[in-house]
Homo-oligomer: A and B are copies of this chain.
Amino acid sequence: MRIFVDLPVDGAAKTLLLEGTEGHELVFPTRPAASVLHAAEPDSALATADIAFGQPDRGLIESSSTLRWIQISSSGFTRYDHPEFRRFVASHGIQVSNSAAVFANGCATHVLSFLLAQARQLPVALASQAPNGSPEWTVLRQASRTLEGETALILGYGAIGRRLVELLTPLGIKLLAYRRKARGDEGIPVVEDIGEALAGADHVINILPDNPESVGFFNAARLARIKEGAIFYNIGRGTTVDQSALAAALHAGKLGAAWLDVTDPEPLPADHELRSAPRCYITPHTAGGSGDEMSLLVRHFLSNLRAFEAGQPLAGRIM
C-alpha cells in the first residue's frame, strides 16, 4: 500500500516508521507539516495514497479515489469535524482514527502540574523571599493546600480524563465527571446538573473538544455559576470559553485563578486582555507534548496499521 506521511518525522521515530512499514511504499510531501497540530500544505502525493498519516489536506482527501484510512496525528480533529466531510468518508468507506491515546498521559500530567502549582501557590511562592513567620509568609503558607477533601469537576471525559483520575486518586480529591452521554463505565460519578456541579466544585477542569455543541460552553452565565474562589483549568480547546467573560471573572476576584494551555487564537496577542488578567497562567499548548511524542505517535500508527491490514477495529476510530 502507498502510505502518505506529512508529519515532521526524523531520527529514531523515522527509523521506527521505516522498519514498521516494510513492504509498503512511504510517500512524503515536499514540505512536511510544522508540528503534529499543523495542517500540511496540500501535496498531490496524497491523491494516489491508500493511507494518510498526519494532518492531510481536506480538499485533497475529498478528491482522492484511493484513500481507505486516515490516521490523524492529533487528539483534536476540528479540521475534519464537519457533516459534509463525515458524509464523504462514510460514503467512500474511508476510516478515520485519531491519536488521543498518545497524548492522554502528557495532557493529564500537564493538568496535574497546573493543579499542584496552584495548590502549592508556586507562582507566588517562587517569587517570594519572605522570612519564615512574617505576615507575607503566613498568608502564603496558609494559602497552600494539599487538595485532600476538595472537589474537582472534569468536563469532557475521555482518555485524558481517565488518566487524570488515575493520577489524582492518591491525593484524596473528590472527582466528578460531566460528559455528553454517560456510559456507566466512567469509574467516577457523572453529574447531570452542570449548574449545580459548577457551584460545588473547587476545581473546574475543562477538557472539552472543539465542536458545535462545545463552542462557547463556558459563557458568562456558566462562568458565573462557578463557586467563588474556585480554580478554572482549560486543556481542551480555547473556543469553548468566552475569554472576555473569563477575564472579567478574574478581575472581579470571582475566580481564584485560571490555568490555560489552550486559547483562541493561539498564541493570544501580547496585548490580549487575558494576558494582563490577574491570576491567569497560560502555557502555549504544550500539554500533550513529551520528548518521545513522535515515537509514541509512530508506534500508535504502526499498531493501527497491523489492525488495518488484518481487518481489525482501529484504536481511536472517530469516523
Please report A residues at the B interface, Cβ cutoff 8 Å: 33-35, 37-38, 105-106, 109-110, 112-113, 116-117, 119-123, 125-126, 128-134, 137-138, 140-148, 166-167, 169-171, 266-268, 270, 281-287, 289-291, 293
Contacts and interface: CB of A to CB of B under 8 A. Distances in A.
5 contacts: A38-B132, A131-B284, A132-B284, A145-B291, A166-B170
A266 B132 CA distance: 7
Contacts of A33: 133
Number of copies: 2
Among A146, A170, A281, residue most surrounded by chain B Cβ atoms (within 10 Å): A146
Contact of A170 (B35, B144, B170): B170
A144 B289 contact: yes
The residue in A126, A134, A142, A286 that gathers the most chain B C-beta atoms within 10 A of its C-beta is A286
Contacts of A113: 113, 116-117, 119-120, 122
A113 B109 CA distance: 11
A12 to B, nearest CB: 12
Nearest to A270: B129
A240 B201 CA distance: 41
Contacts of A110: 120, 144
A110 B116 CA distance: 8
A110 B126 CA distance: 12
The 9 closest A-B pairs by CB, nearest first: A34-B133, A141-B289, A113-B116, A125-B283, A35-B133, A113-B120, A144-B289, A129-B267, A109-B146
B109 A285 contact: no
A67 B293 CA distance: 62
A120 B283 contact: yes
B170 A137 contact: no
A133 B38 contact: yes
A197 to B, nearest CB: 23
